[in-house]
Structure 1
Amino acid sequence: MVKEHLVSHLRACLSQLKTSFEHCLGNADNYAKRNKSKEDCVSKLPDEMLSSIISFLTLTDAVRMSLVSKRWRHIYASMSSLNFDLYTMFSAPDDCNSQQHCSHFCLHYRNTFVQRVNQFLQLHSAPRIMSFRFSFCFVREFAGDVDRWISFAVRMGVEKLDLNFACRDSIIVGSMFSDNYNEMYNLSCQLLSEASKLNHLCLSSCTLQLEFGCFNNLISLDLNQVPLSCNELQMILSRCLKLEWLGVRRCPVPGKLCICGPSLKFLEVFCCAGLKEIELSAVNLTTFEFSEILETKFSFSNVPKLEQVFFRGYYYDAIDSIFSELTRDLPELKILSLSMFTLYVRYPKWPTSFSKVKQLELSINNDFEPDLLKITPILSACPLLQKFHIMMRSYTRRSEESTKEPPKCVHTQLKEVEFGGFSGTRNQIEFAIFLLKNAISLDKMIIDVHYKLYFGCGKWKNGCISTWTEDKRDEIHKQLQGRVISATAKVIIR
């Protein structure tokens, strides 16, 4: 506890120092001239604290701060984590949050960005680099400079390398390069052949020139907007025998992806253009996250440890296909998350059972509120279900009558229900009552006007469509009162 308190106090002090330093940045030149013969108080701080202070500043500001303290020049030049992007190299305007303005800014400042990175690396004096990242809109015109940066990082024993050739993740390959991949930077993997310390590699908006002898020690690989030909991913995986984490996001791919790996534990495949089928064989895989606009065929040939699956679907039959086709291939599944982004969803009437699923998460993100009682067969398909979370973001409420209440279906294991995005419509009330009447071992039901939607890879979006008055809260409470069958259940309305 004492250690945690000291760390917290130190962070507060560093935050205050950061604020003070930022105020004096604009007057750094005058400060230096007035105090040439004086010893500044900053010089008395230990190197570790100065390094922590630098981590709060952009690289440009850190360079300017070297005029304030005699020891800053040494400290900022010995940083072991290097991050070059719009916000560390420039005072980027707020409108760079949009794709159009971000691309325009990068186009105008490319030469300046390259010049500043080159100057910084010439001054850098650390014995090694732990991480190297840049994020900027580059094309092949600057390939020579980028090659030198990568070679520098490799020589310095870099462990984490993040190369993003589009300044924002939201910029897709087609919009930036007009589907002409010849304009994109082409990474020759020969540059990484000597990267013996490299464990984590993230590539975005570039093409690959594969060579033998690279990627051997990778633990994580994140490919974002990287076009992949028929066998390229298989070639990469065949060399990454230690790979535990793999992300393939927005990558144009051939119709079929074959993914295998003896050490692979986490896999994400997100909206890859051209994808029609995935063949998956990974004996140690525990988590699989998948998002796609079009229907995709799955083949799970050897995934005995797969316990957690997240599906994000944009097509009508997504849930129906999951419960009719995947139950036999995923016998050990324990956590199933489904996120629907489509106007209408077909729910299975007689789904096959997921016999070991203990947690079911359902997110509904569309314009029209669905008939929630049609979901009940999905709950019945999970006989050992203990936690059920449903999140809704629907802007148009149902006006028609809901489905006739389904037959009683007792859930003996269900302990916890969380209902987010709850606005108190008749449809939602009827579904909540159904759960209260059939979950005989329920401990608590949480009803919340706020929603929390999962978008994959640890990313969440929180929001609230409507607000409640005290009268509305009391009305909901009255409609649910007396409907609880479990003697221990509590209904919590937030």
Structure 2
Amino acid sequence: MVQPRAATFVLHQYDNSHKPSEDRISKLPDEILVTILSRLTIEEAGRTSVLSHRWEYLWTSITVLNFDVSNFDVSEILSEDTRLGKRVLEIERSRYVCWVNQVLKSHLGPTIEEFRIVFDLTDRCNIDSWIKFAIERNVQRLELDLLVFHGRRSQMKQWYTFPTQCLGFASFKSLTALQLKHVKVTEVVFNYFLSNCPFLEQLCVIYSSDLVNIKVAGPSLKLKYLEICHCARLESIEISAKDLVSFKYDGKKIRIEFKNVPCLVEVLFGPHFSDLIIHNFSEFSGWLSHLKTLKLALAFEHYQQVFSPKFPVLQNLKHLELKIYSCGRKSLLPCMSLIKACPFLYSFTLEAFWSLGFSIIRELEATEKCPHKCLKVVEFVGFAGITVEIEAAMYLIENAVSLEKIIINPCLRVKGKPFDVELTKPERRQLARERARQLGTKLHPGTKLVIL
């Protein structure tokens, strides 16, 4: 098992002559020392037990149990579907389970602030007892991410189902944040958390195959952040949550109905639903008009017809983020019509994912004059310095008359399978930086160029 690198733990204080002075740290109350240790990894906290008798058992009361070893990756071996790859994963699963069991057996603390399980696990592992352990210790933040190394559909039969027998514990009333990724969550379980966790503020469900119709409602609901992504069978989401601030959805086109969301100021949608919004913008303008932050991911196969010349005006929108998947040949200028619909926009971020073989060279298209008086900050993420980006940048430079800063991140991102990848070739980044610096010569006096 690959474990995180240990941090250096300094016990003694030193005077100017480098002689050990009085050990003041060890004289601190247990509560403070446990708080300090809880900021370390589990391995780092455990190593402090050898410092002295005073420290021997302090680590067993830490309040953050983060079993995240996502830096271990066997995806390349598994992609070949070899017996060796499967064997490696089974060995690592066994080691991971033993590690978690050993820590939980040693843990003496009465409460837990955070409990995270992040590893490729199946329903044959000892997960039920871990959840029960966390619940009994009044866990506040609970995260299960059980399939982080490979996501092939053939592995769906191994997905873990959240156990209904764990429901009903009074300790769930302490839960403030719940994240379930690659976990089968039934509608019974989903509704239970909404109805029986009075302090639940954050709920995230990703890659769950059992949800069909979701209704987020309740008079005592305190939910502020809701994220539902990649739930293949999902057909509808109905939301009536007066405290909801942020909502994220990524998946197929479904029915999403906002009934009572007076505090909703931020939404993020994946490519399929973003496409639906762009094509039917006026139908969604009721709740869109209240937003301060809008984040859309767009697949631009036919985007020349996607953007209407005129959108309903979004008077309250201050921050707009567009994540674009494009071949690199078609202009990005049509998406600027969305900026025109936001007269009080303060910041705009464009994150680009280019398909392999994207085009770099072609003639620049002329940009129209449409002054924007409130736009202050513009950011390009995944900047490659290709023509379509230069066009978009020039449009913003020429029309954002109050622009204060333009940030360019030249990490080239490419749409790939099964995941998006980042190309880190030095020559590509150097070329992108050179073209970014050329843009700097076009800036108005007082506008700052930041190249990361």
2:65 matched residue in structure 1: 82
3-state SS, counterpart of residue 269 of structure 1: strand
Change (3 A) 1:153 1:491: closer
CA deviation digits over 1:305-337, x for unaligned, max 9? 211122221579345236343212333111112
Structure 1 stretches lacking a partner, 5+ long: 1-13, 20-40, 199-215, 454-459
Note if 1:219 corresponds to 2:172.
no
Note if 1:187 corresponds to 2:149.
no
The 5-angstrom pairing of residues 372-391 of structure 1 reads 372-391=332-351
Give, as a single letter, the amino acid of the residue that structure 2 aligns with 1:466. Answer: R
Note if 1:434 corresponds to 2:395.
yes
1:353 matched residue in structure 2: 313
d(CA) in 1 for partners of 2:206, 2:95: 30
1:233 matched residue in structure 2: 190
8 Å contact from structure 1 (residues 277, 297) kept in 2: yes
The 5-angstrom pairing of residues 265-284 of structure 1 reads 265-284=224-243
2:81 matched residue in structure 1: none
Q: How many Å apart are 1:107 and its aligned residue?
A: 1.9
8 Å contact from structure 2 (residues 143, 178) kept in 1: no
Compare CA radii of gyration and give the structure with the larger one: 1
CA deviation digits over 1:393-425, x for unaligned, max 9? 43613555565644x323233333334444444
Aligned CA-pair RMSD? 4.3
2:223 matched residue in structure 1: 264
Match of 1:307 among 249, 257, 265: 265
d(CA) in 1 for partners of 2:202, 2:429: 38
Change (3 A) 1:274 1:349: farther
Structure 2 stretches lacking a partner, 5+ long: 1-5, 12-21, 79-83, 414-419
d(CA) in 1 for partners of 2:433, 2:137: 61
3-state SS, counterpart of residue 391 of structure 2: helix
8 Å contact from structure 1 (residues 42, 69) kept in 2: no
d(CA) in 1 for partners of 2:204, 2:243: 16
Aligned residue pair count? 414
Note if 1:332 corresponds to 2:272.
no
Change (3 A) 1:410 1:66: closer
Match of 1:289 among 224, 248, 273: 248
3-state SS, counterpart of residue 179 of structure 1: helix
Note if 1:246 corresponds to 2:203.
yes
d(CA) in 1 for partners of 2:23, 2:76: 38
CA deviation digits over 1:239-278, x for unaligned, max 9? 3443321112111245443222432211112122123433
8 Å contact from structure 1 (residues 386, 415) kept in 2: yes
d(CA) in 2 for partners of 1:357, 1:238: 32
Note if 1:411 corresponds to 2:372.
yes
CA deviation digits over 1:334-362, x for unaligned, max 9? 11122235544322233222222122222
d(CA) in 2 for partners of 1:269, 1:299: 14
3-state SS, counterpart of residue 287 of structure 2: coil
- The TM-score with structure 2 as length reference comes to 0.73
Q: How many Å apart are 1:49 and its aligned residue?
A: 5.4
Change (3 A) 1:59 1:475: closer
Q: How many Å apart are 1:371 and its aligned residue?
A: 0.7
3-state SS, counterpart of residue 195 of structure 2: helix
CA deviation digits over 1:192-238, x for unaligned, max 9? 43343x4xxxxxxxxxxxxxxxxx45322222223344565345423
The 5-angstrom pairing of residues 448-459 of structure 1 reads 448-450=408-410
Identity %: 26
8 Å contact from structure 2 (residues 141, 177) kept in 1: no
3-state SS, counterpart of residue 183 of structure 2: coil
